[in-house]
Amino acid sequence: MTSVEAATRAQEEPSSAVAGTGGPERRPVRRWVIAGVLVALAVALPYIPLRIPVLFDGPVNGPGALHLLSLMFVMAAIAMTYDLLFGYTGLLSFGHHLYVAIGMYTTVVVLGETDYGLGAALLAVLVLGLVVPLLLGSICLRVSGIAFAMVTLAFAQAGAIFVVRDPFRITGGELGLAIAYQKLPERLVGVFNAPYRYWLALALLVLVVVAVRWALSSRPGRVWPAIRDNEPRVAVLGLRPYTFKLQVFVLSSFLATLAGAVYAVVVGGAYAEVTHATFVLALLVMVVLGGTGRPYGALVGGLVYTYLVHRLGALSSAVQDLPAAVRAPLMEPLLILGTLFVLLVLFLPGGLVSLFRRPGPNVRDRLRRALRRKDAE
């Protein structure tokens, strides 16, 4: 695995993920150790009665904090699947939330409307998560660029209209649907079982991280950044960009559908907000916030964004003696996040992750790119 990764790194385009990883080939072992320790810590968290005063209300292993962390994990997983499309392959999709919604609603509707249990719901999610992206992807990918963004948005909008108008009386319209609790395993229901939902979300996140890293180091995974950087050249090399784009579209949408199913369990239902275009804009903000097309950019962005959306209001009320004129805008997390996003796009295009990297690789990349441009001339 590690040697494959190293070989991949060496072959990737200089402007791609390498800008973030940059390190020498010895590093992977250390990186696996760090990742292992982090995961072990996360797994053990429900047993640690730690109190972090401002960051969380109550202990970190209390139900409130664990619920917030579960949401953060699910969102980070979805953001990573989105980055696979946007950051690594350069496909700007405005329809990614459709697949999250499909996962959510399929789970809830199968449990609520049929006699089948969680296994059947999961099977339905897996099947739909493959078939729908394959179908819609093969249509959408016939156009590219802004037209692709628009046609994906249009299909997602069709999904949103379907959910809100609810012609078959199954989706609950604007109000949404609560999950059929009695059909879930007991461990996943109720305030006291928050740790189990937390572990479920963590498992999803680990699965998505591993799947995304694995896919990116596979053979087609090396073509995706090439398509982003120079699609005509990929075509000239005798590869069909369409096939590769469809692969990454299906993979990313499939993982998003899966994340949607877990999301339904974590929030206890399916809600129409997921189908709104605002959701995909939030994904876009997460990915850019963390850093697009960088190994852990979307992960960091998803965690930070979700945390801030839920906690900015509480954080600002923790600061005493704020005049009302300042407090009111602070209660709108999207105002701060939107402004932050604009500033990031203007001044830190590499996202948060790029803050923690040595400037070295970037300068080297720039030099290498400049030399190559000279060669081309």
Partner 1 sequence: MTTFVLMTITGMGLAALYFLVASGLSLIFGLMHVLNFAHAAFLTLGGYTAWLVAGASGSFLLGIVVGMLVAAALGAATETGLLRRMHGDHVPQVLLTVGLLLAFTALVRAIFGSDARPMPTPAWMNQVIRVLDAPIPNSRFVLIAAAIAVWVVMTIFLTRTRYGLIVRAGVENRPMVTALGIDVRRAFTLVFALGAGLAALAGSLVAAVQGAVSPEQGMTLLIFAFIVVIIGGLGSFHGSALAALLVGLLQEYTNFYAMVGMGDLVVVLLLAGVLLTRPQGLLGRRLV
* Binding-site ranges for partner 1 (CB under 8 A): 92, 139, 142-143, 145-147, 149-151, 153-155, 157-158, 161-162, 164-165, 167, 277-278, 281, 284-285, 288, 328-329, 331-335, 337-339, 341-342, 345-346, 349
- Is residue 125 helix, strand or coil? helix
Which residue, chain included where needed, has tokens 């037209």? 147
Tell me how far, at minimum, the Cβ of 354 lies from partner 1, in Å: 14
Exposed e or buried b per residue across 303-322, where buried means at least 16 C-beta atoms within 10 angstroms of its C-beta = bbbbbbbebbeeebeeeeee
Distances, alpha carbon 38 to alpha carbons 24, 45, 117, 123, 297, in Å: 22, 10, 34, 31, 16
Q: From the DSSP assignment, how many helices (H) and strands (E) are in the chain?
A: 17, 2
Tell me how far, at minimum, the Cβ of 299 lies from partner 1, in Å: 19
Nearer to partner 1 by Cβ, of 55 and 161: the residue is: 161
Nearer to partner 1 by Cβ, of 46 and 225: the residue is: 225
Exposed e or buried b per residue across 40-67, where buried means at least 16 C-beta atoms within 10 angstroms of its C-beta = eebeebbeeeeeeeeebeeebbbbebbb
Exposed e or buried b per residue across 188-218, where buried means at least 16 C-beta atoms within 10 angstroms of its C-beta = bbeeebbbbbbbbbbebbbebbebbbebbbe
Tell me how far, at minimum, the Cβ of 93 lies from partner 1, in Å: 12
Tell me how far, at minimum, the Cβ of 256 lies from partner 1, in Å: 19
Nearer to partner 1 by Cβ, of 9 and 276: the residue is: 276
Nearer to partner 1 by Cβ, of 208 and 284: the residue is: 284
Tell me how far, at minimum, the Cβ of 40 lies from partner 1, in Å: 36
Tokens found for residue 156: 């997602």
Nearer to partner 1 by Cβ, of 31 and 311: the residue is: 311
Tell me how far, at minimum, the Cβ of 187 lies from partner 1, in Å: 37
Nearer to partner 1 by Cβ, of 317 and 339: the residue is: 339
